[in-house]
Amino acid sequence: MLHTNLTHILSEKEHAKLLQENENVMVCCGRMGPMCIPVYSVMQEIEPEYKNVKFADMEFDIPDATVIRGLEECASFRGIPFVIYYKNGKVVKATSSIQSKEQVTSILDDHFGK
């Protein structure tokens, strides 16, 4: 399990349930490494400001992470974490590698409002 204060997704079933129960979802799929930790930190910092978004993480190397690793939107990604933004269960944006607070909040504001 990832050492964050975010909601942890541990299976495909939990991933599907999260998308079904929440209109706006941001999932960071990664490891506890130097490119991923800053993204988890941003998510934890801004979570209280974005009450309309469910923030979650998922370990990149677990078998069930194929629900993210296998997305068409991630096919060209070469760096982790894979960050997926969902609206009503559909991918509206996918990014990879380290991201700043400004980059993350810009995407959230563009796709989900504040």
Q: Is residue 50 part of a domain?
A: yes
Burial (Cβ within 10 Å: 0-12, 13-18, ≥19) of residue 84? buried
Model pTM?
Answer: 0.96
Full domain range(s) for residue 30: 7-109
Beta bridge partners of 7: 56
CA-CA-CA-CA torsion sign (37, 109, 11, 8): positive
| Residue keyed to tokens 């998308």 | 19
Dihedral, CA of residue 73, residue 38, residue 16 and residue 113, to nearest 10 = -80
Kindly report, residue by residue over 4-36, the tens digit of the pLDDT.
999 999 999 999 999 999 999 999 999 999 999
Tell me, what's the pLDDT at 87? 98
Q: Is residue 1 part of a domain?
A: no
Q: Is residue 27 part of a domain?
A: yes
What CATH number is attached to the domain comprising 85? 3.40.30.10
Kindly report, residue by residue over 56-72, the tens digit of the pLDDT.
999 999 999 999 999 99
N-terminal to C-terminal alpha carbon distance within the chain: 29
The β-bridge relationship of strands 7-9 and 82-87 is unpaired
Q: Is residue 97 part of a domain?
A: yes
Residues in the chain: 114
**What's the CA gap between 23 and 1, in Å, rounded?**
25
